[in-house]
């Protein structure tokens, strides 16, 4: 990927929210099976915002 020509496909939470409110659809992708431990669920998920053109932006958290 040439960062001078192409933007990275990751965004922070504020930008992710902006994308969701501007028409991107939000998808949750399960990367590993979820399991319940006490009252909480544990597992690995990826949240991504996808435009109608298929452009994907992945949420990164601090």
Helix ranges, 1-62 (H):
13-21
Instruction: Name all contacts of 38-47 with Cβ < 8 Å and 24+ positions apart.
Output: 47/16
pLDDT at 32: 92
pLDDT, tens digit, 9 for 90 and up, residues 8-45: 799 999 999 999 999 999 999 999 999 999 999 999 99
Residue 49 CA to residue 11 CA, distance in Å, equals 9
pLDDT at 8: 78
Q: Hey, what are 39's tokens?
A: 């009252």
4 or 30, which is more confident?
30
pLDDT, tens digit, 9 for 90 and up, residues 40-61: 999 999 999 999 999 999 999 8
Residues in the chain: 62
Q: So where are the chain's domains? A: 10-59
């Amino acid at each position: 990927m040439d960062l001078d020509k192409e933007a990275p496909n990751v965004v922070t939470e504020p930008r992710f929210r902006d994308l969701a409110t501007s028409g991107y659809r939000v998808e949750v992708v399960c990367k590993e099976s979820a399991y319940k431990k006490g009252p909480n669920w544990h597992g690995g998920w990826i949240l991504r915002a996808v435009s109608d053109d298929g452009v994907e932006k992945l949420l990164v958290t601090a």
